[in-house]
Structure 1
Amino acid sequence: MTESDLTSNFPQQSGLPGEKRTDELGMRILKAAQTMFVRDGVDAVSMHKVAKTVGIGQGTLYRRYPNKGSLCMSLMQTKFDCFAEAINEYLRDAANATVFERLSRVVSSLIRFSENDLDWLKAILQSGTLKDAKANIFESPPFLFIRDTVQRLLEEAAAKRELVPLDPAFASVLITSSMTPELMFYLFDSGYTPERIAERYVETFLAPLFAGAGRI
């Protein structure tokens, strides 16, 4: 996903004049941060630089985003929304492909998404932004999207008798929760490429679910 792909997908806000100005400021902050992060790298961009680029005081910026991690979190949500839209489009277009092929593609795409935004994810984790949300991580929109997508595919495969006997709802939670940012960092640092991780993940976790039915 390119910079233009991301910035073109910021939501268009409407409402009362005061609300519109506030929303426009938020979009200016996110677009400026996105441009600087892509150009200079997340580590090289300070909150002071973001505020200066947007032309606002640091206090105004910190009232919206307590730290760089929370700023990255907002940007990542926008990026994930684009990712989710692309996944849904793929699943619509590939409706005639096998369930195993579609599920493998979803998982592989998620791994590549993590690799593309490694610096952003590290900034979020290092800032402690996720600490207060740990208890509710399984209710976060990204988790729910992946879980529900995986569950629907597993249920379709089960209905077609392409799966070994299992509980699709339970399996979808385990599959989704196994692809954590921390695990991705470890595997990337261990020398695995996104392609190799996806290949190994599919053959270790997904293929055995279908192999018993002889459908892969």
Structure 2
Amino acid sequence: MSKEKEMDTSTTKLSREDKNRRRILFEARKLFIDNKGTDGVNMHQIAKAAEVGQATLYRRYKEIGDICIEIVKEECQPLFNELNKYLNKNLESEPLDKLYHVIERFVTFLDEKNPWLCAVSRTILGYRPMQTPLYQWMRNTCRTLLSEAEQHGDISDVDITYTVEIMLSALHDLDFHLNNSRLTTERIIQGLDRIFIRGLKSKRI
């Protein structure tokens, strides 16, 4: 099967520049998956795999980190859409129940793309750790849900900003916990629930 057929057939109506963009991202993603991250992958390899000239590649992307950020955005957008839909449909549900669902889905999503997506996310240059689109969305969502829980009296005397940053630190190393520490997703989710949900509940609950 040709590269054109492997990619989404909707690209047939795109401009040449957009087709090149789709081809670059498609082939870069394959290389990242094969290499379980960006180690060993360079711009020359991506250009060769995508069958575009170096000038074409560098005209759109100055460095590999620029490619990474587009891939992370595209990979994560379906998750954002799914969770935003869930949150909009469950406005009256308990905030901590919604937070549990978000954490559970976030962990299983990263596990499905383990370890390559975590590694690619960390490669994005110009971003501090946990400032990529994936973690920015998670940060804003968790802060909102914990603020709702505080307003409902479900939690009290909690530094929400710091608590969320600590939670993100644990999630940021998810691939390490899965691959090196040999933890299961179930154990990780249970631990996060115990620390960041049940552990924060007010005594009256």
Q: TM-score, normalised by structure 1?
A: 0.71
| Secondary structure of 2:171 counterpart | coil
State percent identity of aligned pairs: 24
**Residue matched to 1:24:** 19
CA distance in 2, matches of 1:55, 1:138: 33
Native 8 Å contact 1:148 1:172 kept in 2: no
- Does structure 2 conserve the Cα–Cα contact (< 8 Å) formed by 1:29 and 1:50? yes
CA distance in 2, matches of 1:191, 1:62: 39
Counterpart position of 1:78 = 74
User: How many residues of Structure 1 are paired with residues of Structure 2 in the alignment?
Assistant: 193
Deviations 1:135-154 (A, max 9, x none): xx565433332122112111
Q: 1:30 to 1:187 in 2, by over 3 A?
A: same
**Distance in structure 1 (CA, Å) of the matches to 2:50 and 2:130:** 34
5+ long unaligned stretches in structure 1: 1-6, 15-19
Specify whether residues 52 and 146 from structure 1 end up closer, same or farther in structure 2 by C-alpha distance, changes over 3 A only.
Answer: same
Q: Which residue of 2 aligns with 1:152?
A: 144
CA drift at 1:202:
1.0
Taking only aligned residues, the RMSD between alpha carbons, in angstroms, comes to 3.3
Please list the CA deviations of residues 49-90 of structure 1 after superposition, one character each: whole Å capped at 9, or x if unmatched. Answer: 543443212343245445655433321121122211111111
Q: Is the 8 A contact 1:51 1:58 kept in 2?
A: yes
How much does 1:45 deviate?
7.0
Q: 1:100 to 1:33 in 2, by over 3 A?
A: same
Q: Give 5+ residue unaligned stretches, structure 2.
A: 1-6
The aligned runs of 1:1-216 (5 Å cut-off) are 21-34=16-29, 40=34, 42=36, 47-48=43-44, 50-65=46-61, 70-117=66-113, 118-123=115-120, 125=122, 128-130=123-125, 132-134=126-128, 137=129, 139-180=131-172, 183-188=173-178, 189-214=180-205
More helix by share: 1
Q: Is the CA contact 1:30–1:75 (under 8 Å) kept in the aligned structure 2?
A: yes
TM-score by length of 2: 0.74
Q: 2 CA distance for matches of 1:100 and 1:138?
A: 22
Question: How far apart, CA to CA, are the structure 2 residues paired with 1:116 and 1:55?
Answer: 29
Q: Which residue of 1 aligns with 2:4?
A: none
* Residue identity in the other structure for 2:108: R
**Cα distance, 1:87–1:203 mapped onto 2, change above 3 Å:** same
User: Aligned partners of 2:26, 2:176: CA distance in 1, in Å?
Assistant: 30
Q: Is the 8 A contact 2:153 2:202 kept in 1?
A: no
1:78-109 C-alpha deviation (Å, 9 max, x unpaired): 11222111111111223343222110111122
Moved more, 106-115 or 44-53: 44-53
Cα distance change, pair 42–154 in 1 and its aligned pair in 2 (3 A): closer
